[in-house]
């Protein structure tokens, strides 16, 4: 099910919330209600695929329980292997076969397995729990709240990536506790903001970026086309993904659950380290805690730092998709982070505006690699950006790009709204709801456009 569908907004969310609050007096019943709603939400795409997250959650929980009972770390290692095997099979098998094929020269068949939606997100959350168990920092939870920590539908498909200790304690709290109307009100407004960003801007940008990137596969774009394509995709990706996050955070707030922040206006970053503190924050935190620090972090000498940073970012790229372009995109950012840190250690700060421009340009080059189907296509697009396809053409859809830029730079993040920007004025409520009604009318026009991050 898509957040930005009429069915979700007008039927699913109100019904699920009504049942949840009707059952609010019983922890057990309301948690089952939320689990049931989450399974329906996930199974809406393909009911058969519900088996996978349920199996991974159950397997992980049983192995953690066995570890608790018998004290053998092998159970936890087996759990990590189980989740990695699932991820590897469903997401990376064909990629690995391709690598093996090119190394061995053998012609191998492809599995062509359907990628279960959200697998990267729920697998990583289960692995993080098992690693925390290995570190001795995760308790055994009852099955129900443990399952709910992974399954709770607002974050199930595309995050924010949540750690068990951020969510499980919240499930014990009565959603009718003090501040319930404030949480619901803020949740609805945050949802409406995300809804509008997705439907009114990001999806419009897709109609600009997609044909131009497709055209770039066939011929070199001129300067105007290339910059239009890359700017459109740059804004589309942020507005699409942050819109999903806002709809997720907003929906969760309606149920009285606070999900962590994921974006803080990343295109205002003045250096690339700043960018990663603002972009996909929950993934950055996850990678920091479970990869970067175990790989050595920044306190074991410069070479270890370089290795830890580029290794972490390379794997970050691979997490996004089973393709070398994703890996290179990650490495590009790894190199950027290392270079940025080296520059900062020289103590020669550059003017903020220069830093901002360099950072944005660096990020946009990265998005070209990220978006392209092949290195050839990425190279062609980058050459076009430099004018190799001719200096003709002008920037297209300027109004839309300006609106997108303003929205990217000015709209506060979900947590900024939550933490005090919003006041309970009826005009704001009416405005937010009217915006939502318009978005509902807009999405009724055709098939809703999937979120970009659903493919990861």
Other CB atoms closer than 10 Å to residue 284's CB: what's the count? Answer: 19
Of 145 and 185, which has the nearer Cβ to another protein?
185
* Span interacting with another protein, options 138-146, 315-323, 332-340, 434-442, rule CB under 8 A: 434-442
Nearest to another protein of 196, 291 (CB atom): 196
Q: Looking only at residues 264 through 303 of this chain, which bind another protein when binding is defined by CB under 8 A?
A: none
Q: From 25-33, 82-90, 297-305, 440-448, give the range in contact with another protein by CB under 8 A.
A: 440-448
Single out the catalytic residue among 67, 155, 280, 320. Answer: 320
Residues composing the chain: 456
220 vs 429 by CB, closer to another protein: 429
Q: Which residue has the tokens 């990425």?
A: 378
DSSP H or E stretch at residue 339: helix 324-345
Closest CA relative to residue 196, chosen from 160, 250, 259: 250
In the block, which residue shows the tokens 């459109």?
A: 232
* Alpha-carbon gap, residue 136 to 158, rounded angstroms: 28
Cβ atoms of 223 and 31 closer than 8 Å: no
Q: What's the half-sphere exposure (Cβ side, CA atoms, 13 Å) at 278?
A: 21
| CA 344 – CA 338 distance, rounded (Å) | 10
Among 123, 433, 449, 452, binds another protein (CB under 8 A): 433
Does 437 help bind another protein (rule: CB under 8 A)? yes
The question of whether 67 is a catalytic residue gets the answer no
Residue 37 in tokens: 């709603």
Query: Nearer Cβ to another protein, position 62 or 430?
Result: 430
Please, what is the minimum distance in Å from the beta carbon of residue 430 to another protein? 5
- Please identify which residue in 182, 215, 219, 373 interacts with another protein, judged by CB under 8 A: 182
CB closer to another protein, 357 vs 430: 430
Q: How many CB atoms lie within 10 A of CB 420?
A: 9
What would the DSSP string read from start to end of 363-384?
HHHHHHHHH-SSHHHHHHHHHH
Query: Which residue stretch of 55-63, 120-128, 333-341, 420-428 sits at the interface with another protein (rule: CB under 8 A)?
Result: 420-428
Q: Which of 188, 239, 306, 449 binds another protein (CB under 8 A)?
A: 188
Binding-site ranges for another protein (CB under 8 A) = 6, 9-10, 181-182, 184-185, 188-189, 424-426, 428-430, 432-434, 436-438, 440-446
């Amino acid at each position: 099910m898509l957040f930005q569908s009429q069915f979700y907004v007008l039927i699913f969310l109100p019904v699920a919330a009504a049942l949840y609050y009707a059952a609010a007096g019983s922890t057990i019943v309301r948690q089952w209600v939320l689990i049931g709603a989450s399974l329906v939400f996930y199974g809406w795409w393909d009911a058969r695929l519900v088996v996978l997250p349920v199996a991974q959650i159950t397997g992980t929980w049983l192995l953690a329980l066995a570890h608790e009972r018998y004290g053998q770390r092998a159970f936890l290692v087996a759990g990590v292997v189980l989740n990695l095997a699932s991820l590897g099979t469903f997401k990376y098998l064909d990629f690995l076969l391709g690598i093996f094929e090119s190394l061995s020269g053998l012609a191998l068949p492809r599995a062509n397995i359907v990628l279960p939606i959200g697998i990267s997100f729920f697998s990583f959350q289960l692995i993080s729990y098992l690693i925390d168990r290995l570190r001795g920092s995760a308790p055994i939870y009852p099955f129900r709240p443990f399952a709910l920590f992974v399954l709770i539908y607002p974050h199930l498909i595309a995050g924010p990536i949540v750690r068990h200790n951020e969510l499980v304690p919240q499930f014990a709290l009565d959603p009718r506790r003090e501040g319930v109307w404030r949480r619901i009100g803020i949740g609805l407004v945050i949802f409406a903001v995300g809804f509008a960003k997705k439907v009114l801007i990001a999806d419009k940008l897709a109609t600009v970026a997609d044909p131009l990137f497709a055209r770039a596969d066939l011929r070199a774009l001129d300067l105007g086309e290339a910059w239009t394509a890359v700017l459109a995709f740059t804004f589309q990706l942020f507005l699409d993904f942050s819109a999903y996050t806002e709809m997720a955070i907003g929906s969760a707030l309606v149920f009285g659950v606070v999900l962590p922040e994921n974006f803080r206006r990343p295109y205002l970053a003045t250096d690339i380290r700043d960018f990663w503190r603002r972009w996909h924050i929950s993934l950055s935190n996850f990678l920091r805690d479970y990869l970067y620090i175990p790989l050595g972090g920044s306190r074991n000498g410069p070479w270890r730092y370089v290795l830890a940073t580029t290794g972490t970012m390379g794997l970050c790229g691979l997490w996004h998709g089973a393709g070398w372009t994703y890996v290179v995109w990650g490495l590009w950012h790894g190199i950027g982070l290392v270079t940025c840190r080296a520059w900062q250690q020289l103590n020669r700060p550059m003017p903020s505006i220069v830093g901002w421009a360099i950072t944005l340009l660096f990020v946009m080059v990265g998005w070209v690699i990220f978006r392209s189907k092949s290195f050839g296509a990425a190279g062609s697009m980058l050459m076009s950006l430099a004018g190799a396809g001719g200096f003709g053409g002008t920037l297209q859809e300027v109004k839309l790009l300006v609106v997108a830029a303003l929205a990217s730079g000015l709209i506060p993040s979900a947590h900024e709204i939550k933490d005090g920007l919003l006041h309970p004025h009826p005009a704001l409520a009416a405005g937010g709801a009217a915006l939502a009604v318009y978005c509902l009318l807009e999405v009724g026009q055709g098939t809703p456009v999937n979120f970009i991050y659903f493919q990861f």
